[in-house]
Amino acid sequence: METSVVTIAQLSFDTIDLAELEAMAEGERDGLPFGVVGVDHQGTTQVYNRTEAAMAGLDRESVLGSGFFETVAQCMNNFMVAQRFEDEPTLDEIIPYVLTLRMRPTRVRLRLLARAGAPLRFILIER
């Protein structure tokens, strides 16, 4: 238990990589201090960690399996985010962004992570 907490603390928003995110269990991703969203190539939400659910004010179970860019994150459904995953198979970039968490304009940092051939693309959200 102790060791796992230490490990998670070292995995920061800026440094964690896609392989580490993929290898983590759901509970471990829940322990991260930033939002983690994993979206498959059909746009379906497959990973939605507890941190993100709390920030958005949503129930994880109702988000999982839904179209992420249609139902939860329309504000990312433009050329600045969603289109980039379509255009760039491999992507690791941090961008300043504004989300509407609980309908409040909220400045965040987004980290967009994708690797050619990987089943999920990850979006990390830091408030």
Residues in the site for another protein, rule: CB under 8 A? Answer: 56-59, 62, 70-80, 97-100, 102-105, 107
Residue 57, by phi and psi: left (phi above 0), alpha (psi -120 to 50) or beta? Answer: left
- Closest approach, Cβ 76 to another protein, in A, equals 7
User: Cβ atoms within 10 A of the Cβ of 16, count?
Assistant: 20
- Closest approach, Cβ 40 to another protein, in A, equals 19
User: Cβ atoms within 10 A of the Cβ of 40, count?
Assistant: 14
- Closest approach, Cβ 77 to another protein, in A, equals 6
Under DSSP, is residue 101 helix (H, G, I), strand (E, B) or coil? Answer: helix
